[in-house]
Structure 1
């Protein structure tokens, strides 16, 4: 926000300021639009994969999910074999390595396609929620997350307070959550999982506001250069950041509020 105010007071003509405002609105619309498409792809992929993993016919199946439903061979391969660890950590590896390469080597359209592939991969990773939680609780928590996300992002966009200093602390919090989550996979502590979920909601709530303001400030700082290709890639990376904020906040809230089958 400080960068935006600097441009306002740096002697730029009213016409130029209006052009930046219009470009910023288009940029944010692209960010939210790309994120929304990614969310839709993730939902469809998770729902479709979960549907393929279950059957009402126990013939040849060995794992019962609930009364009358059993894992198919595909379901057992995804959720009960070492493949589950690959599926669990693949999105994380994709974020760290796939997007870095895409940003350097591909044009904006290629980066956008990479994001959609990642969203589908995330759907595979999250498909088990349809087997663990009731459909009603998934929808309920999704709506709670959507309302919270919208409010936090709106605040991050409109506030005149500079919250750029939050970034380092929030990233440290994410690293701490990741380490604690991996440790708790082996410990299986309910109390520790509750603490992780609560802290996760708070950290990604903060990141939602922080990332929104950062996306806005990044556009304003670079708009004068007129590099549309770079700004197009920046919009997709902004969509990725907000997408991850939403997904993580949703998952932590689901762990706190979701009703298990």
Structure 2
């Protein structure tokens, strides 16, 4: 989640309104480009059985699975990294998620994948609109959402080694959808609130990459858990 490191600007002036529109557009363009990269990589790898076996056919699959998380935790720091470095880190995360998602075609039907994607897209758009337009302050949700994400990550990692019951898996997936839905709305509002033209292009670009990553991860998490819920019916 993006940290509130910079002051926000008062809204309402033409300069701020035009700059804010461009800033929000840049965030969603970057987030969408990440989704597109992930989809292309997943399709390319899933089309090659040899490449699938090379990447996911042994213990190396755990490296592929956990590498995006490691980059997010240790290789993505808007406070100290330049906008250009953040861009390459974001692309790296998108590619690595694509490698992991290449296995979806082996587990789920194409129709289910498409339905889950469209449902996620509709939810994401609705939540972003809500986060952008609501007058309610969503900042108090931040601490709860952050702690909830940690809990979900721990349970998900544990689930790799300990088989949960189908009911528990459904509960975890449903909870994940709600948690990342909340993050989507909060991050949208936070991105709007933290924009300030006085920060300059470099800092605003760093914040845009940070917001794009949070929204990208939220979209991916909602998609995966909606897909699991649909397949468990």
> TM-score with structure 2 length normalisation?
0.91
Shift of 1:237: 1.0
Alignment correspondent of 1:11: none
The C-alpha deviation readout for 1:98-146, integer Å capped at 9, x for no partner, is: 112x75243x233223212221111012211111111111011100000
Shift of 1:165: 0.5
| Structure 2 residue ranges without an equivalent (≥5) | 1-6
Q: Among 164, 168, 180, which residue is 2:139 paired with?
A: 164
Q: Which runs of 4+ in 1 moved over 3 A?
A: none
The C-alpha deviation readout for 1:182-207, integer Å capped at 9, x for no partner, is: 22222212222111101001100111
Shift of 1:159: 0.4
Q: Among 46, 50, 60, which residue is 1:50 paired with?
A: 46
Alignment correspondent of 2:61: 84
Quickly say closer, same or farther: Cα 1:92–1:226, change in 2 above 3 A: closer
Alignment correspondent of 1:245: 218
Q: Say whether the 8 Å CA contact 2:132–2:192 is kept in structure 1.
A: yes
Alignment correspondent of 1:111: 86
Alignment correspondent of 2:34: 38
Shift of 1:216: 0.8
Q: Say whether the 8 Å CA contact 2:71–2:89 is kept in structure 1.
A: no
| Structure 1 residue ranges without an equivalent (≥5) | 9-13, 54-71
Alignment correspondent of 2:10: 7
Alignment correspondent of 2:23: 27
Between 1:179-188 and 1:128-137, the stretch displaced more is 179-188
Alignment correspondent of 2:204: 231
1:218 aligns with 2:194: yes
The C-alpha deviation readout for 1:60-107, integer Å capped at 9, x for no partner, is: xxxxxxxxxxxx4x433333311011111000001011112x75243x
Q: Among 124, 130, 133, which residue is 2:105 paired with?
A: 130
The C-alpha deviation readout for 1:150-194, integer Å capped at 9, x for no partner, is: 000100000011010000000111111111112222221222211
Alignment correspondent of 2:129: 154
Distance in 1, Cα, partners of 2:155 & 2:202: 39
Distance in 1, Cα, partners of 2:10 & 2:56: 52
Q: Say whether the 8 Å CA contact 2:145–2:179 is kept in structure 1.
A: yes
Distance in 1, Cα, partners of 2:185 & 2:199: 26
Quickly say closer, same or farther: Cα 1:176–1:211, change in 2 above 3 A: same
